[in-house]
Amino acid sequence: MKKQEKLYEGKAKILYATDNPDLVVQYFKDDATAFNAQKKGTIVDKGVMNNKLSTTLFEYLAKGGIKTHFVEKLSDREMLCKKVSIVPVEVVVRNVLAGSLAKKLGMEEGVQLKQPVIEFYYKDDALGDPMINADHVLAFGWATKNEIDWISDCALKVDVLLIELFARHGIRLVDFKLEFGKHKGEVILADEISPDTSRLWDMASGEKMDKDRFRRDLGKVEESYAEVVRRICG
């Protein structure tokens, strides 16, 4: 497999073509942004840590029957992935009230929800990723009814699997964001799963171990990412 030209550069990752038209290299950067890139910074070795953690999580989910774009880890910062056309919908799953939902409802973070909540956001930075619902996804043709049903079902299965894994390592999975893509006509889980795209709270202390430490200037950002990697990847 030969890495070729840059296809796309996002805020946290770069995608490169390969000599196989069905595969891409996903390169993880240290760049960190928040609030639609109004806040910018660097989290030292974030790319290495997120690549490592995403690899472990994608391998774990694959064993649990989840179809993902992950093929193999190539290096510290690179993973080989199936090439997908991304569904422009960010799928957020919440188990515990936090972040934008807590703010919207004017409630304290930390309330355990009686069931998981799935939310959809239209993936458009310029618009600030506005919240949408399944009807919008269908009405604009971003996915079919079958696909959106499959995506919702998959997101809930991922939730069950990840809650269990993180809990085994003393971490409460508060919420997370998934992205899906189409590969050869089939919808699969894509992007990454990391402290950039989730809220992870230490079960013993309640300490945040995720990107909220960067968003909210809580300090110990690198240390917290490293602790998540240490617990989950060994």
Contacting residues toward ligand TMP, per CB under 6 A: 92, 98-101, 129, 175-177, 197-199
Taking the least distance from each CB to ligand TMP, the nearer of 83 and 208 is 208
Measure the CA–CA gap between 208 and 98, rounded to whole angstroms: 11
To the nearest whole angstrom, how small is the minimum distance from the Cβ of residue 198 to ligand TMP?
A: 5
To the nearest whole angstrom, how small is the minimum distance from the Cβ of residue 185 to ligand TMP?
A: 26
| Helix H or strand E encompassing 39 | strand 39-42
Taking the least distance from each CB to ligand TMP, the nearer of 11 and 182 is 11
Taking the least distance from each CB to ligand TMP, the nearer of 159 and 227 is 159
Measure the CA–CA gap between 71 and 58, rounded to whole angstroms: 9
Indicate the residue whose CB is closest to ligand TMP: 99
Measure the CA–CA gap between 46 and 42, rounded to whole angstroms: 8
Could you tell me where the beta strands, DSSP code E, fall in 97-192? Answer: 112-122, 131-132, 171-183, 186-190
To the nearest whole angstrom, how small is the minimum distance from the Cβ of residue 47 to ligand TMP?
A: 16
Taking the least distance from each CB to ligand TMP, the nearer of 1 and 218 is 218
Nearest to 53 by CA among 77, 83, 84: 77
Measure the CA–CA gap between 124 and 88, rounded to whole angstroms: 8
Taking the least distance from each CB to ligand TMP, the nearer of 23 and 154 is 154
To the nearest whole angstrom, how small is the minimum distance from the Cβ of residue 105 to ligand TMP?
A: 11
To the nearest whole angstrom, how small is the minimum distance from the Cβ of residue 121 to ligand TMP?
A: 7
Q: Report the DSSP pairing between strands 85-86 and 89-96.
A: unpaired
